[in-house]
Copies of this chain bind each other. A is one copy, B any other.
Amino acid sequence: MKRFKTRTTIKDVSRRAGVSVGTVSNVTNAPHLVAETTREQVQAVIDEIGYRPSRTARSLPARRTYLIGYRLPTPRERGLSQTLDVFLHELVETAYGHGLEVVLFTSRPGEDPIEAYREVARRGDVDGFVLSETNYEDPRIEYLLSAEIPFVAFGRSRGAERFRWVDVDGAGGVEEAMAHLFDLGHERIAMVAWPEGSESGDDRHQGYCRALEGRGIPYDPDLVIRVESGVESGHVALDRLLRLPELPTAVVCVEDLIAFGLMGEAGRRGVRIGADLAVVGFDDLPACEYVHPRLTSLSQPLGEVGRTLIDLLVDQIENPEALPASTMVSPTLVVRESSGARRA
């Protein structure tokens, strides 16, 4: 019966270096307490046999797990699904810089959304959570606040002053998109929005309003189409635009998916994107580069978001009493051919 190879432990080092385990521990955690010669000897042994303290074993006395929990979005849902790679990568990378790692979990459809968090928290398996896909009323936030479990959220929510969050300035982004369209000579600009009631959707819509106001253009409700998320909604949206007495010259979409659908339908209806109708999306999905013409879109700085989230979470873990400090980041407009050239 063969045995598993066993890791090298602090005892191996202590034996080999002829010092006590306490001293070895100090070499890694409090080197200043160890005489220089001893420290060097011990370090040499550590390097030689490649010893690393086990996270598991460290956790017990430290009452920390050095682990951060993140619940994956359901595949293909609105939100981070298509940009998960960038977001997660930065989360993991930044966490690593703080000596932390990221563990994943999911929740099953139909299940109480806080159940998965509660299970993880009960086992005491993480030091804190990163939340994404938040909304106005998010039961997870209420739960984590009341349970006094450290967390940070990607996205504001009701009671945002009570916790740490990072959010993208959707309104500002849309204003930037509108400014771009104004620059190109557009005046009659439509917006395809989601139904009212989502934090990011309402935020982006507000940017549309502010931009019009800043330009002194009256708000025309006919130019605002409300549809659900998804490509098919883009078909519907274009159809509605075509029923207007006069087609707008440009349209800002609340998400890329809708823009893609709108462009597809435009092709079928003989509307030339970029020439007859300028289109701007939101999210800057990879597919913006794949469609024809390529889609101008607002790129969320997901790397920065991930980084900041972890920094805030670490701050809260180490500093639970401090006042929540949160951050707003700005999207960047990536101009491509769908918003076309300056109008005559």
Contact = CB atoms under 8 A, between A and B. Distances in A.
Interface string A76-92: 10001110111011001
Contact of A84 (B88, B103, B256): B88
Interface string A257-273: 10011011001000000
Given A123-B55, A292-B291, A75 B85 contact: yes
A104 interface: yes
A114 interface: no
B148 A82 contact: no
Given A85-B81, A292-B264, A55 B104 contact: no
A50 B104 contact: no
A51 B124 CA distance: 10
Interface string A95-137: 0100001111110000000000011001111000000000000
Interface stretch (A56-64, A153-161, A190-198, A199-207): A56-64
Interface string A10-34: 0000000000000000000000000
A41 interface: no
B286 A263 contact: no
Contact of A53 (B50, B123, B264): B123
Q: Which of A8, A60, A86, A292 has the most CB of B within 10 A?
A: A292
A93 interface: yes
Nearest to A54: B124
A296 to B, nearest CB: 15
A278 interface: no
A243 interface: no
B291 A290 contact: yes
A282 B324 CA distance: 47
Contact of A72 (B88, B263, B292): B88
Given A106-B96, A290-B291, A292-B292, A122 B85 contact: no
Nearest to A71: B92
A247 interface: no
A104 B88 contact: yes
A76 B83 CA distance: 9
Given A260-B290, A264-B292, 12 more contacts: A4-B63, A7-B123, A55-B125, A72-B85, A80-B85, A82-B82, A93-B106, A96-B105, A104-B104, A256-B290, A267-B292, A291-B291
Interface of A: 2, 4-8, 50-57, 59-60, 63, 65, 67, 72-76, 80-82, 84-86, 88-89, 92-93, 96, 101-106, 118-119, 122-125, 147-148, 231, 256-257, 260-261, 263-264, 267, 285-287, 289-292, 294, 320-321
